[in-house]
Structure 1
Amino acid sequence: MGEYKILPTIKSPNDVKKLSEESLKTLCTEIREKLVEVVSVNGGHLSPNLGVVELTVALHRSFNFPKDSIVWDVGHQSYTHKLLTGRYKDFDTLRLRGGISGFPKREESRYDDFNTGHSSTSISAAFGIANAKMLSGDNSQTIAVIGDGSFTGGLAFEAMNNAGRFNRNFIVVLNDNKMSISKNVGAFPRYLTTVRIQPWYIRVKHITEKTLSKLPVLGRVIKWFLKRSKSKIKNLVYKNTLFDCFGFTYLGPIDGHSIDELENAFEVAKKINSPVLLHVVTKKGKGYLPAEEKPGQFHGIGQFDIDSGEPISSHTGFSAVFGSLMCELAQQDSKICAITAAMAYGTGLREFSHLYKDRFFDVGIAEEHAVTFGCGLASKGMRPVFAVYSTFLQRAYDQLIHDAALGKLHLVLAIDRAGIVGSDGETHQGVFDVSILNTIPNATIYSPTYFDGLRKSLHHAVYACDELAAVRYPRGGELYKPDDFGEESIDFNTYGNPECGNLIVTYGRLFSYAAKAKEMLKEQGVEVCLLKLCRLKPIDVEAVEFAAQFKNVWFFEEGIKNGGIARNFSDMLFYKNFKGSYHIKAINDKFVKQMSVSEALEMLKLDSKGMVEVITTNLRNEE
């Protein structure tokens, strides 16, 4: 790998249009080699990008970007798009601090029309773009590229329902690779399977229309009747797809790895003066055998060995521990149910899905539905646990309030990837869940630091709470733990000398950094005590009373400051007539850009070194 002849010469889509058929094959091979080479070092989304190489090349040959507009759903499959739009020389910086993003970014390139990072948004955004063009007299094309997994999200269907009435060309490319992150579930994937195995219908439809159009007046009347008829005759002769019912002209299925077929299909689609859905079938992970065999594992992956496909570093993480705990609970309690939104692999529920199939529910990429579905289970006495990444829980805010909290239903949220997650950047940082849940009446929030704390928190959330409860934990595994510390209480724990006058309050994995900061400060002659919250909401009054005896209190929070726990703690602290100095260090009204977790915590002064700097600076200023 690393010997590229054609790829370095591609400065814009115009260069792709000049290539011969043989050169295009070489280009696609080089793109796949470059994708594997860079992702093996930087981590990222490999199998989705390997699957859309030919599709992306064909799009850039068939359309006139950036005059034409393209919106990539989720955007995790846009690496080839970046390589073809002048970003080859920077591609080695993919997902690194200051480098190019793993998702489309408008500020990064004029070829990126819309910022994406979460699924099911592309059709809505692209349809908005198409309407803006219409209003400004712009006749250029607008294309949305969406995967079959993303199509299971309700927003995609809302957009289809709205866009089907458009009286101009608007193209939706459905990239059907038969899976999202986990294997696709539900009626829509089964429907696509039916369409894939019956491609003859579009030819019958076309021939019927063409034949009837040649007949005089009678032909037009029959054609009109067939289009509007609800009879069995229509179903036999003029077979409709789901997409036709939405108002889209369906074209496909098309071989997503044949550039020639794709280009021909795009030319047909561009000539239709109404919304078009182009159904493209691809293979996720194509061209790299480990990714073809395990597309879920290579959907989003860290560093790996190219020859074997094996991860370079492997350690037990919170997700795996959570999955094991869920299996233990399910074995003991037949009411335990697990829910995931297409993330069985990422959330550690794979073993549960095999052992307890009847109590495992993968609802597809539909977090809103997952919450309300879980509430339905809870209303009849089941004990549902919805495992979800922090960044994706944001979609279900209304359901958490209206269906769970207001209904006083006992739904447990297992919030994975809580806090800074690193190189996926702004769209994926798990820094909003605490502020979101903190606004919801009667919700209980736990944030353990270690695996033992996760066990205790999950058990309490399932059995000691009777309304909405959440257990949040970070990506990765346990961090530093002092030999003489243990998470004894489910509410809060203290560590150090309470007579020293200085107190650090924190929760989650930041306690590990605070414990190291305590040691570093001791070397400088500054003694601090630590207060680790495990239950964030409601805050234990005794924890506040403990803090009120200190002269200086610092609260470090790996989350948004507005609506966070530090603000709640300060209110309660001053209500206890606290007369000392109180400082909050949290994420203050901004998004955290892509960089490693360690780089982000350092920038935010939430790592051990940053804590020491904040504390010593405050103490000097108060002298």
Structure 2
Amino acid sequence: LLDVALHKAGVTFVLDRAGITGDDGASHNGIWDLALTGIIPTMHVAAPRDGARLREVLAESIQITDAPSMLRYPKGEVIADIPAFERRDGIDVLYRGESADVLLVSVGAMAAMAVEAASQAYREGVGVTVIDPRWIKPLPQSLVTMATRYKSVVVLEDGIRHGGIASTISEMFRDAGLQVPIHSIGVPLTFLEHAKRAQILSELGITAQQISLSIVEWSASLKDGFLSPMSEVAKPEMQHPLDENVDPRRLR
């Protein structure tokens, strides 16, 4: 990867078994790739959430001729398509909360779980908007502008938290002077035991129910009227009724 990047070669790498693979064995989990590729200059990395997005980013990647790119997707059957309501500067909006409490950044195959967690949090009175950047390296700068409109940001990924996407987003926010609480949900820096993917996720507390509970708890801990320095000058986030989230007429 370093040699390809150094020579500015437009090579596309396709990485299967990304994230937690589970019963392939402890050494076969693909939880380190995002931390490793994050240190390679000019590298482009995409994490498609479903089959439609995999085809989409593959077509986009072959248009990158001056740098390497990598597409990561999980083991198993092709994930059912999760359409978006809209796309903002390359970022897909998958679920829109009724209030701008939490911006939940979903990485790749975690999208369905993120949407379910947002739906559960709504029933507890917390508005969660779920987005999918699709391309997670480099991250679009528009993510900073989007985050200014929310009280906190949560990042959900199935790679290690150490050096992962949450770390990259946190650094991006610091560089922009954005002071907004950011929470990371991912894999701790450890080797995972041999087990089914669902069992491992459950043992790590990475389930829709646990994510929802954590989001509600984190939101309750914020002081009333919290605003980041940048959010005071940002336009309010446009909110839509909850029934939009079950409207099949989405961006495809």
Residue 185 (structure 2) pairs with residue 585 (structure 1): yes
1:481-492 mapped onto 2 (5 Å cutoff): 485=84, 488=87, 491-492=90-91
CA contact (8 A) 1:548 1:576 kept: no
Match of 1:511 in 2: 111
Aligned to 2:236: none
Q: Is the 8 A contact 1:490 1:535 kept in 2?
A: no
Residue of 49, 63, 67 corresponding to 1:467: 67
1:491-534 deviation per Cα after TM superposition (whole angstroms, max 9, x unaligned) = 32123148522111121011110001111112222221112120
Query: Distance in 2 between the 1:506 and 1:543 partners?
Result: 12
Instruction: Report the AA paired with residue 90 of structure 2.
Output: D
Name 2:36's counterpart in structure 1.
436
Aligned-pair RMSD on alpha carbons? Answer: 2.1
The residue that corresponds to 1:594 in the other structure is: 194
SS of the residue corresponding to residue 554 of structure 1 reads: strand
Q: Spell out, residue by residue over 1:340-378, the C-alpha distance to the aligned partner (whole angstroms, 9 max, x if none).
A: xxxxxxxxxxxxxxxxxxxxxxxxxxxxxxxxxxxxxxx
Q: State the distance in 2 between where 1:601 and 1:497 align.
A: 25
Contact 1:496 1:529 (8 Å CA) reproduced? yes
Note the C-alpha offset of 1:466. 2.6
Alpha-carbon deviation of 1:556? 1.3
Question: Residue type of the partner of 2:187?
Answer: I
Q: Does the residue aligned with 1:471 lie in a helix, a strand or coil?
A: strand
**Structure 1 residues 460, 435: CA separation in 2 closer, same or farther (over 3 Å shift)?**
same
1:609 Cα deviation after fit? 1.6
Separation (CA, whole Å) in 2 of partners of 1:454 and 1:486: 18
Task: Quote the offset at 1:578 in angstroms.
Answer: 2.3
Name the amino acid aligned to 1:485.
A
Q: Distance in 2 between matches of 1:531 and 1:599?
A: 26
- Normalization by structure 1: what TM-score? 0.34
Cα distance change on mapping 1:418 and 1:492 into 2, 3 Å = same
- How far off is 1:460 after superposition? 0.9
Is residue 569 from structure 1 mapped to residue 169 from structure 2 by the alignment?
A: yes
Identity percentage over the alignment? 26
CA distance in 1, matches of 2:89, 2:65: 13
- Name the structure 1 match of 2:141: 541
Q: CA deviation at 1:607?
A: 2.3
- CA shift at 1:489, angstroms? 6.7
Q: What's the CA shift for 1:485?
A: 2.7
2-structure distance, mates of 1:430, 1:490: 28
Q: How many corresponding residue pairs?
A: 222
Q: 1:537 to 1:498 in 2, by over 3 A?
A: farther
Q: Matches of 1:498 and 1:471 in 2, distance apart?
A: 33
Residue 490 of structure 1: how far off its partner (Å)? 8.3
Q: Are the counterparts in 1 of residues 26 and 193 from structure 2 also a CA contact under 8 Å?
A: yes
Aligned equivalent of 2:228: none
Contact 1:480 / 1:512 at 8 angstroms: preserved in 2? no
Higher helix proportion (structure 1 or 2): 1
Q: TM-score, normalised by structure 2?
A: 0.81
Aligned to 2:226: none
Listed one character per residue, the Cα deviations across residues 18-43 of structure 1 (whole Å, up to 9, x for unaligned) are xxxxxxxxxxxxxxxxxxxxxxxxxx
Which letter does structure 2 place at the counterpart of 1:544?
V
Match of 2:235 in 1: none
Q: 1:446-500: CA deviations, max 9, x gaps? A: 1110111111100111123431100111112344656x63685783212314852
**C-alpha displacement of 1:615:** 1.1
Paired AA for residue 545 in structure 1: T
What is residue 96 of structure 2 aligned with on the other side?
Answer: 496
1:457 and 2:57 are equivalent in the alignment: yes
Instruction: Report whether the alignment pairs 1:523 with 2:116.
Output: no
Report the equivalent of 2:214. Answer: 614
* Pairwise CA distance, 1:619: 2.6
2:18 maps to 1:415: no
Indicate the residue corresponding to 1:235 in structure 2: none
Is contact 1:502-1:529 (8 Å) kept?
A: yes
AA paired with 1:444?
Answer: H
User: 5 Å matches for 1:239-388?
Assistant: none
Contact 2:45–2:71 (Cα < 8 Å) also in 1: yes
For the 8 Å contact 1:490–1:534, the answer to whether it is kept is no
Q: Report Cα offsets for 1:177-211 as digits up to 9, x if no partner.
A: xxxxxxxxxxxxxxxxxxxxxxxxxxxxxxxxxxx
Question: How many angstroms apart in 2 are the aligned matches of 1:600 and 1:577?
Answer: 36
CA distance in structure 2 between the aligned counterparts of 1:486 and 1:471, rounded to whole angstroms: 23
**Shift in Å at residue 576 of structure 1?**
2.8
Conserved? CA contact 1:510–1:607, under 8 Å:
no
Alignment partners' CA distance in 2, 1:478 and 1:435: 24
In the aligned structure 2, how far is the partner of 1:478 from the partner of 1:611? 24
| Unpaired segments ≥5 residues, structure 2 | 224-252
Q: Compared with structure 1, are the counterparts of its residues 489 and 596 closer, same or farther at alpha carbon in structure 2 (3 Å cutoff)?
A: farther
Indicate whether 1:604 and 2:204 are aligned.
yes
SS in 2 for 1:590: coil
With over 3 angstroms needed to count, the CA separation of the structure-2 counterparts of 1:444 and 1:517, relative to structure 1, is: same
**Partners of 1:443 and 1:557 in 2: how far apart?**
19
CA distance in 1, matches of 2:167, 2:57: 23
Native 8 Å contact 2:17 2:73 kept in 1: yes
